[in-house]
A and B are shown apart, each in its own frame.
Chain A
Amino acid sequence: MNNLIAFFKRFRVFLLFALLQVFSLTLYINYLTFPRNQYLTTASSFTGKILEIENDLTKHFNLSKNNQALQEENIRLRRKLKQSLYQVEGKYLKVDDTLFKQQYTYLPATVINSSVSKRNNYFTLNVGRKQGVYKGLGVFSDKGVVGIIHNSGEHYSVVKTVLTKDINIDVSIDPKGLFGLLKWNGADPKRGSIYGISNDLSIKKRSKVITKGGSGIFPRGLLIGSVEKIKPIAGEPQWEVIVKFAENFSTLQRVYVVKNLLMKEQKKIENQVPNNEE
């Protein structure tokens, strides 16, 4: 017993160091793999509040640029209004339409904390469970896809952006409709790569990359970026397609959270497919 106490006395510094070190590393690795705990992230209301105050002070730096982007989007939407359409024949234009059912709804949000230079970049939004935001909803801006909600607190939520290692958004390259998975290599916040496209297909440079909408998180056809380069992968019959993101994530402020109202139905039906057990 005395020996044990003497041992602890002698190595108490190293033991404390090792204990704290193991504790913090475990938290870090756990957070990367299972993001269940949200109390000690920027989704909690205390840190969220402080970051919101900070954002209130600094949001004006990119104001004119953001305003212009919003104005451009307004114009684009205004073109689709009833008033700006020419009525070809009276009886075909109906306001109360039962042919279409609302599938996606959108919620505006502001990015109050962001980073683009880390290996995994998370943004904090000023909307939370109170506004009906929960894990798994999509987030996009007027120029392109931003990411997926990672966890949400009462008033704030954290977005896992396309600038994280395992984001895996299903995308399609526009004119031909080639499907692939969008990933990020962790270095350049302006470019991502698409994997899973067989290398016997030809891809044109500068063709648009849009969301495929297969998983039901994003509607089909949201812009992500454009193809910049096509690289062969050594030893695999695949292309690595380098995409230049349409959105500049370092100045991003206004985003939309998209909610699929028919998600439950899609998941329910998809779960009925028998698992491939071998």
Chain B
Amino acid sequence: MNTLFKNIARFILLALFQVLVFNQLELGYGIHIMIYPLFIMLLPFEMGIISLLSLAFLMGFLVDIFSNTYGLHASSLLMMTYFRPRIFKMFSPIDGYDPIKEPTFFDMGIRWFLSTFAYLLLIHHFWYFLIEIFRFNEIFSILIKTSLSFMFSIGLSIVIQQLLYKKVKRQ
């Protein structure tokens, strides 16, 4: 019950943050900060891929509605979610994941979190800019946008996670 409540709170908070704060920030150089993938990353380990995909679609679509992109965010988040179990398997500890722990960087350590989330977020960002630009002669600009936005997104994801985690703990 507690996990469910926590994840609903995360869903709403991350969606609101994305739509009302980060969608309005224009840093230039094609940087587009996306923090909502963090929601999918932080869902419990034992959650099935079918429910993960459905939640990803829901989240992506919500962001789409508010940013006039109409399916672009949903598509990228689905792509990332599809690879989540594979990447998690790649970085799995020897005796598997402890179901009590959560995939946050407090529970699993900064090294584990950074490596898994970096892979997932890279997939997400690359797919997003690839579909948005959709020209292979601009592959250079796709890569630049991906890497610049990626750096901002992952940094802010960690900061926001710290804020969210402390908030939940206090309750």
A residues apposed to B, CB below 8 Å: 12-13, 16-17, 20-21, 23-28, 30-31, 40-42, 44, 47, 50-51, 54, 58, 113-119, 122, 124, 158, 186-187, 189, 250
- Closest CB of chain A to B40's CB: distance in Å? 13
Q: Is the CB of B31 within 8 A of A117?
A: yes
Closest to A12 in B: B50
- Closest CB of chain B to A158's CB: distance in Å? 6
Given contacts A28-B70, A31-B71, A122-B68, are A21 and B79 in contact (CB under 8 A)? Answer: yes
- Chain B residues near A124: list those with CB within 8 A: 68
- Chain B residues near A54: list those with CB within 8 A: 20, 24
Q: Is the CB of B70 within 8 A of A25?
A: no
- Chain A residues near B64: list those with CB within 8 A: 24, 40
A250 vs B31: C-alpha distance in the bound complex, in angstroms?
A: 14
- Chain A residues near B69: list those with CB within 8 A: 28, 118
A28 vs B133: C-alpha distance in the bound complex, in angstroms?
A: 13
Q: Is the CB of B61 within 8 A of A24?
A: yes
A189 vs B113: C-alpha distance in the bound complex, in angstroms?
A: 36
B114 within 8 A of A: no
18 additional A-B pairs beyond A117-B30, A189-B28, A250-B26, beta carbons within 8 Å, are A12-B50, A13-B53, A16-B53, A20-B57, A21-B79, A25-B75, A26-B71, A28-B71, A41-B70, A50-B19, A58-B24, A115-B23, A115-B67, A117-B29, A117-B31, A119-B132, A119-B133, A124-B68
- Closest CB of chain A to B97's CB: distance in Å? 19
State which size class the interface on B falls in: 35 or more
Task: Select one of A16, A28, A158 contacting B131, CB under 8 A.
Answer: A28
Q: Is the CB of A118 within 8 A of B32?
A: yes
Interface flags for B57-86 (1: CB within 8 Å of A; 0: not) read 100110011111111101100110010000
- Closest CB of chain A to B122's CB: distance in Å? 18
- For this complex, 15 residue pairs linking A to B, each with C-beta atoms less than 8 Å apart, are A16-B53, A20-B78, A21-B79, A24-B71, A24-B75, A25-B75, A28-B72, A50-B19, A50-B66, A113-B23, A113-B24, A114-B24, A117-B26, A186-B133, A250-B26
B residues apposed to A, CB below 8 Å: 19-20, 23-24, 26-32, 49-50, 53, 57, 60-61, 64-72, 74-75, 78-79, 82, 131-133, 141
A241 vs B82: C-alpha distance in the bound complex, in angstroms?
A: 45
Q: Is the CB of A117 within 8 A of B131?
A: no
Given contacts A40-B65, A47-B65, A51-B66, are A28 and B26 in contact (CB under 8 A)? Answer: no
A16 vs B48: C-alpha distance in the bound complex, in angstroms?
A: 13
A119 vs B141: C-alpha distance in the bound complex, in angstroms?
A: 11
Given contacts A20-B53, A25-B75, are A115 and B132 in contact (CB under 8 A)? Answer: no
Nearest 6 A-B pairs (CB), nearest first?
A: A24-B71, A28-B71, A27-B71, A31-B70, A24-B74, A24-B75
- Closest CB of chain B to A96's CB: distance in Å? 46
A250 vs B53: C-alpha distance in the bound complex, in angstroms?
A: 35
Q: Is the CB of B141 within 8 A of A117?
A: no
A31 vs B69: C-alpha distance in the bound complex, in angstroms?
A: 8
- Closest CB of chain A to B59's CB: distance in Å? 12
A117 vs B132: C-alpha distance in the bound complex, in angstroms?
A: 12
A21 vs B78: C-alpha distance in the bound complex, in angstroms?
A: 7
- Closest CB of chain B to A25's CB: distance in Å? 5
